[in-house]
Amino acid sequence: MAIDVREHLPRDKFDIANAEALIALGHPAVSPVLPDLLEWLQDCNWPVSKPIGDFLTTLPNEMAPLIWTVLRGNDHVWKYWCIFRLISTMPADTAEQFRSELARLAEDPTETERQEELHEVAKDALNVLWPSDGG
């Protein structure tokens, strides 16, 4: 009988036990719930976001399309955490697809993006990923 990975999704921001059980199933078993896991990075102050974020950083290729969905949305805090936790930790060749958006955020953010410090986290990511050319 197949395991229903949805049963292991965290029930609240303190449900580290379920997060760890889900992570233990590994990839590709958790593929169907990757979008659900990414939601826990909406606020990296939540205790459950640490183990989930650490796990998601191991799946840069799988996460890239989901990150694009966040970057195209309106939740600027979630964008911040996706850049900080996921994009900036990717191999540079995987992160290359985000480079122009990071540059836009760093150089020409909207007022709301500036208020949420997206320009700063984008600059930091550019410098981490491509230090030799200053981003």
Using only C-alpha atoms, what is the Rg of the chain?
15
20 belongs to a structural domain: no
80 belongs to a structural domain: yes
- Is the pLDDT reported for residue 135 higher than 70? no
**% of the chain at pLDDT higher than 70:** 97
> How far is CA 84 from each of CA 17, 87, 117, rounded to the nearest angstrom?
24, 7, 11
Domain that holds residue 72: 57-133
68 belongs to a structural domain: yes
Confidence of residue 105 (pLDDT cuts 50, 70, 90): very high
Confidence of residue 58 (pLDDT cuts 50, 70, 90): very high
The pTM of this model reads 0.94
In this structure, the chain runs to a length of 135
CA–CA distance, 41 with 49 (Å, rounded to integer): 6
17 belongs to a structural domain: no
81 belongs to a structural domain: yes
**pLDDT at site 134:** 55
Q: What's the structural domain count of the chain? A: 1
36 belongs to a structural domain: no
**% of the chain at pLDDT higher than 90:** 94
Buried-exposed string 93-132: b where 16+ CB fall within 10 A, e elsewhere: eebeebbebbeebbeebeeebeebbbbbbbbbbbeebeee
- Is the pLDDT reported for residue 1 higher than 60? no
**pLDDT at site 3:** 79
